[in-house]
Structure 1
Amino acid sequence: MKKNLFAFLLIFSFSFALQAQEQVRMTLEEALSLSLENNVNVKNAQLETMISKATIKETTASGLPQINGAFDLNYNPAIPVVFLPNEPPFGDPSIPSDVIPARFGVSFTSSLSANVRQMIFDGSFFVGLRAAKTYKQLTDYDLEKTETDVIESVKKAYFGVLVNQERIRLAQSNLSRVDTLLNETRALNEAGFAEKIDVSRIQVQRNNTFTQLERSRAALEISMQVLKLQIGLPMEYDLDLEENLEEFNSLEEVSALLEDPGNERIEVKQLNTNIELVGLDIKNNQSQYMPSIDFVGNIQRAGAGNELNSVFNSQNWFGSSLLGVSMTIPIFDGFLKSAKIQKNRIQIQQLENQRNYIRESIRSEVFSAKTNLKNDLSLLQVQEENLELAREVFDMARIKYTEGVGSNLEVVEADAALIEAEINYLSALYDGLVSKVDLEKALGILKTSIEN
């Protein structure tokens, strides 16, 4: 109930924000909650669970009384003729033929009836009811699988936006730094203390930095559109993320994740349910060897007359009723049910083989995800150290150049190394966050991690 209330308030607040202004601010948690409400795949999976609920009602209805009514009004333009032998004692000597034509019936007939049928015993009904409930469980697992996939996509898209925003921030800082250096070098060149090649060298570096900034801006626009698509936000609105990359770089959380044994993966639950469904199909085919028993009842009133206005006279109407039990006994079907059962057993073997393969694949996936995360953490530490060293080298090269004991080439090379170190650091940080998401999914705790 609390979760539904939170989702309602979240959607209401976003709807108001969209009407009031074009910019929407949100955290990762809010983005995930909104995506679970608006994502098209999640909506379709939710609709599938509603279909499964209706299927249970549909199956249950077949075991309840089936009552139908009928009304007939018939007109016979030509009443059928029945031929009788023209023989004594009912013969008519005045008729030369050896048969006498006789009309039995009236011009107008009508009837009003009600029929009821109630299943007493049918083995396939109870198996079908259980199968419908199992199918409902399967659709619940499908919904959970879809939500997990959406959470994975939203998290990675969210981190991608943050990385591109940080790249833009660093590129702008680098561009400002290079512009300052370029202006200083131009002034030195005009004063005769620097060569023209020094200015050209820094101009090339400035152009490369500007190009990197424009690429980062384009990448940000693309990643922002991908994120808005995932969370169901209209493309024409601006999205402002309230968090930064450093807030998700918790070593304690990563250490706990590496020690987490994980949960049973939803893919295994889906296969278990599919195996159960095929097993129920076997029981359904086996139950069809047994007879089915139904109670039947009928009540009817019928009337007739030679004129239409006399058909509905009460004295021309008569009632009848019927109560009985109907039993259908299967005798021989050409081994159809036997073939179906054999096919079901082979399907179970296929699903069991697939389940064993999935379990081994999951173990391999968990191992790979943990290895990748550990490796990415190590690389992140190395890149963080490289970034600090690159900053120190640039500062030293800049000081030496300003004091006249260093060359312009050293400053340009140090600046390029600093930019490369920044890019490598951001890439390592993003890879670490993605590896963390991959490990959460491999452990089967990606969805529960946001519910807690």
Structure 2
Amino acid sequence: MKRTAIKNYQLKIKNCGWIFIFHFTFYIFNCLYSQQLTERTLTLEESVGLAVSNSQQLLSAAQDIQIAKQRLKEARAIMYPQLEFNANYSRFNAESPLFLSPLLGNTILPQKTIRELDNIENYYTTKISLSQVLWSGTKLSSTKKFAETEFKTAESDYGAIKNKTVATAAKNFYKLLSLQKKLDIYNASIEKLAGRKNDNANSKNRFLADRNIEKIKAIGEKIKKDLEIARIDFLESIGIELNTIFAIKGELEYKKVPADPNKCLAWAAEYRPELKKTQLQEQMDALSVNLSLSGRYPTVALGGNYQLEDKQWPFEKKSWNATVNLTLPIFDGFGQFARIRQRKYQYRKSQINRANISDTIKAEVRKSFVEYEYAIEKYEKKTKEAEMLTDTSELYKNISFSEYAEITDAVLQMQLEYIDAVTDVIIAKIDLETVVGRSIE
């Protein structure tokens, strides 16, 4: 009996343990699920910040900047002297002086005498070497300038990608905001129609009313479809999960900002990263020409060595040298001339590309300016129409239900057109600022 009671007690404890684990696991999953369903509210500034921090292209461009920065440090390092320390231990038997490979320190093992040939001995060397290139045409300075220009090019690439990323996020934000406004207006129109009845109308009026209602519902279905697509585009542009539950907070308002085409063209020439990149690429190709030309000039270098060597410690043999070296290229099968021509052709190609990109940017600015001016005119026109709809109570007096539905449809269309006009002028302004490279305010 006692054993049975103990077993029952142990079984109860085991069951309680399983029940505790089950409830604890359920609690954890419930907390995680509740956290996942928490709605996230995003403003325009937060959305742009997320787009910049989550953009894979920007992250890659940032790594290019770091790579270019390290290349610049590497290029600057050639301006400093090279200091080396070498220590060797060798066992050898040489009938003539033996020169070791560069990997082993360019050490010379001495020749043995006839009496010493049968003896394999130890040999120790310790050497400190110092070398510095004093002059090599323009190679040193051009290499440094080339790395500096490459670093600026990487920064220019980052700026161009950032401008596009910010513009895309801002445009998707306003598109989503405008569709939300449209959905609110549509729901308000449906509520208006739901408060009226169509029982007393004749068949003709009922038919006309039903057709207008169907038109309104079709508009609502399209708005809902566009809203879902806009949500996906927005989430993709800011780089967060597509199943994120969120809401956006902002005002769909436009403050008129006049633009001058000449100023826009001047700003684009100064601020567009793409144009800066072509200028920098042209400089890099010019430096490549200088680097190729430097191969025709002699190289002057200064160096010295201090070496201790012997068969045992302490080392008694001491050697040193100080050397000035002159290397003059004479002939390499005309390869140097081919490299120079190649770099010159590349430089000419960069000049052509720069002119082409400059013309493309000018065309983009002019097109965006025309779109912006048209969007302003459309906005002003739709604003005046919207002011007429501030009080629609007079339109709904003493009318049939079919007329009520028709007027509701017309009012809805005008309200949606106004929202489209506001959205278009905001997006046109963003596009103009993107092609200009700065704010037009």
TM over 0.5: yes
1:235 CA drift (Å): 4.6
2:48 is aligned, of 23, 29, 32, to 32
In the alignment, what sits opposite 1:366? Answer: 365
2:397 is aligned, of 395, 399, 402, to 399
Q: Does 2:278 align with 1:286?
A: no
* Pairs within 5 Å for 1:253-292: 253=257, 255-256=258-259, 260-261=263-264, 262-263=266-267, 264=270, 265-292=272-299
* Pairs within 5 Å for 1:325-404: 325-386=324-385, 396=395, 398-402=396-400
1:387 CA drift (Å): 5.1
Q: Does 2:102 align with 1:109?
A: no
Q: Is the 8 A contact 2:365 2:435 kept in 1?
A: yes
Q: Is the 8 A contact 1:300 1:321 kept in 2?
A: yes
How many angstroms apart in 2 are the aligned matches of 1:138 and 1:333? 33
How many angstroms apart in 2 are the aligned matches of 1:317 and 1:221? 86
Q: Is the 8 A contact 1:179 1:206 kept in 2?
A: no
1:330 CA drift (Å): 0.7
How many angstroms apart in 1 are the aligned matches of 2:370 and 2:314? 93
The CA RMSD measured in Å over matched residues stands at 3.4
Q: Does 2:436 align with 1:443?
A: yes
- Secondary structure of the 1:401 match is coil
How many angstroms apart in 2 are the aligned matches of 1:168 and 1:234? 24
Question: 1:314–1:288: structure 2 CA closer, same or farther, 3 Å change rule?
Answer: same
- Secondary structure of the 2:330 match is coil
In the alignment, what sits opposite 1:68? Answer: 84
Question: 1:218–1:104: structure 2 CA closer, same or farther, 3 Å change rule?
Answer: farther
* Pairs within 5 Å for 1:17-416: 22-76=38-92, 79=93, 103=117, 106-122=120-136, 123-181=138-196, 184-185=197-198, 189=199, 193-195=200-202, 198-199=205-206, 202-203=209-210, 205-206=212-213, 208-235=215-242, 237-246=244-253, 249-251=254-256, 253=257, 255-256=258-259, 260-261=263-264, 262-263=266-267, 264=270, 265-304=272-311, 313-314=312-313, 318-386=317-385, 396=395, 398-402=396-400, 408-416=401-409
- Secondary structure of the 1:230 match is helix
How many angstroms apart in 2 are the aligned matches of 1:226 and 1:257? 32
How many angstroms apart in 2 are the aligned matches of 1:260 and 1:316? 77
Structure 1-normalised TM-score? Answer: 0.74
Q: Is the 8 A contact 2:165 2:237 kept in 1?
A: yes
Question: 1:371–1:394: structure 2 CA closer, same or farther, 3 Å change rule?
Answer: farther
1:391 CA drift (Å): 8.5
The worse-fitting range, judged by mean Cα deviation, of 283-292 and 30-39 is 30-39
Percent of pairs identical after alignment?
Answer: 19
Count of residue pairs brought into register by the alignment:
386
| Ranges in structure 1 where 5+ consecutive residues have no aligned partner | 1-18, 83-99, 305-312, 403-407
1:336 CA drift (Å): 2.1
1:434 is aligned, of 421, 427, 431, to 427
| Ranges in structure 2 where 5+ consecutive residues have no aligned partner | 1-34, 97-113
Deviations 1:160-197 (A, max 9, x none): 1111111111111122122223xx21xxx2xxx22466
- Secondary structure of the 2:397 match is helix
- Secondary structure of the 1:348 match is helix
In the alignment, what sits opposite 1:425? Answer: 418
Structure 2-normalised TM-score? Answer: 0.76
